[in-house]
Amino acid sequence: MNSDLNICLLVASHRANSQSRRIADYINQHFLAGKASLIDLYDSPLPLWDGAALIPGSTGEQRVTDVKNRADAADAFVFLVPEWHGMVPAGLKNFLLWCGANELAHKPILLVGLSASSGGAFVIAELRHSGYKNARLLYLPEHLLLRDVGDLWVGQEGRSSDEYLEKRTRYALEQLLTYSAALKPVRTQLCAGLSDFPNGMS
């Protein structure tokens, strides 16, 4: 992993002891040399965004500031998104309301859909369809689907799916690192017009 790049793993599950967090930790240790930063929406629950200002010094304000600072410091993201009832967890959409273009614009994002069974694709489609407009999220054309996630990478020998997804994950992360290294030097230039055009067209 390029030591000059801050890859942030965003765990979109807001459940305790989630498979999403387990997979994030696995990816960090096995593919990113333990150097990735982390935003876990269970460990760092954000207040529900309603457009109103937060009370200065409140716990909610402190959590939002901390998460925004960690997002701002990242050069790229891996969004680990469980599919709940065919949808993206509400906490991730809430995150995208708190963190906008200042923290996220023109930073590459690898989407990872997770499912306890055979799902995962709906969250990829949902995120590619919405949530990117004003924040200028830059989703990679590559994504990952990790299905039957409770059985994935738990030490069972001879699982062809473990081996395939290991190779596919490494491939996708190498693309993310390549995009990140290419875009980091020009991000300021890419974001120069956001003050004039803060909202994406629809």
Indicate the range of 72-76, 106-110, 146-150, 154-158 predicted with least confidence: 154-158
pLDDT digits (tens, 9 = 90+) for 120-132: 999 999 999 998 9
Per-residue tokens: 24 = 């994030």
Q: Tell me if 11 sits within 8 A of 80, measured CB to CB.
A: yes
Share of the chain above pLDDT 90, in %: 94
- What is the model's pLDDT at position 131? 85
Residue 11 has pLDDT above 70, yes or no: yes
User: 1 pLDDT band (50/70/90 cuts)?
Assistant: low
Q: How far, in Å, are 8, 29, 108, 162, 171 from residue 76 at the CA level?
A: 6, 17, 5, 25, 16
Largest CA distance in the chain: 55
Q: Which CATH superfamily is domain 7-190 in?
A: Flavodoxin domain (3.40.50.360)
Q: What is the pTM of this model?
A: 0.96
* Domain map (residue ranges) of the chain: 7-190
